[in-house]
Amino acid sequence: MSRPSSALVSDLITHLDSLDKTRIKMEKLFKDKSLSRRDVEKVYEALYLRTITFFEGFVEELFWGLLTKRIRPSLRGVVTRVDFKSDIIARDIVLAKKPYIDWFPYQRTEDLAKIYFRGGRPFTFLDEQDKGEIKNMMKIRNVIAHQSTSSLQIFQKDIISNTLGLLPREKTAAGFLRNQFRTSPDQTRMELYQLRTIDRSFA
């Protein structure tokens, strides 16, 4: 029996809520002086990488699920251009002997979706602003995951230099994610990116 695509969004929200509960616990321990700032920053980095992993998993499951009719689209206009009778057959053909698909940069997902879905929908529903936000999220992910000179330069140029009012300790990936950019209610950039991940789940 097929599942509605909205169920995948619910799963994503559940995963992200779990990550945020961990974040809140770590901040409480920091406030109680049970953890150092560096310890908390390491946790933020790990939680952010998990956030991106969950989003990638969502995109992947939505793609295969819609393609094989295991997932019912909640949005109109989602039509496959090819009918597959099983996941095994679909993966054999789409993967074409590759071990996996890189879903990001997001353009790769769009390009693949245009082959197998009419108009690439729902993966082409994102506007340029949404896709720009995803690019920025991946730049933060890359500087955490790779720690390379190139990823750091891109992060400093495209993220930090375009964000006003940051303190020196907030100009690292972890410090940036901990940055409280809004009050009433208080919200860190980590929370903002988690909410934006949900907003861009187009299911």
Q: What ranges do the domains of the chain cover?
A: 3-199
B/e letters for 121-150, b = 16+ CB within 10 Å, e = fewer, are bbbeebeeeebebbebbbbbbbbbeeeeee
pTM of the entire structure? 0.93
State pLDDT tens for residues 149-173: 999 999 999 999 999 999 999 999 9
Check whether 97 has a pLDDT greater than 80.
Answer: yes
Over residues 123-142, the pLDDT tens digits come to 999 999 999 999 999 999 99
Whether the CA torsion 68, 72, 77, 78 is positive or negative: it is negative
Q: Using the 8-state DSSP alphabet, how is residue 160 labeled? A: I
202, pLDDT greater than 80? no
**Element (H or E) spanning 40, and its range?**
helix 37-67
What pLDDT score does 203 carry?
A: 66
pLDDT average, residue stretch 104-111: 96
Question: What's the confidence (pLDDT) of residue 103?
Answer: 96
Q: What tens digit of pLDDT does each residue of 22-76 get?
A: 999 999 999 999 999 999 999 999 999 999 999 999 999 999 999 999 999 988 8
Torsion angle of C-alpha atoms 115, 116, 122, 128, degrees rounded to 10: -10
Question: Among the listed ranges 63-67, 121-125, 192-196, 197-201, which one has the minimum average pLDDT value?
Answer: 197-201
Q: Give the span between the Cα atoms of 193 and 177, in whole angstroms.
A: 9
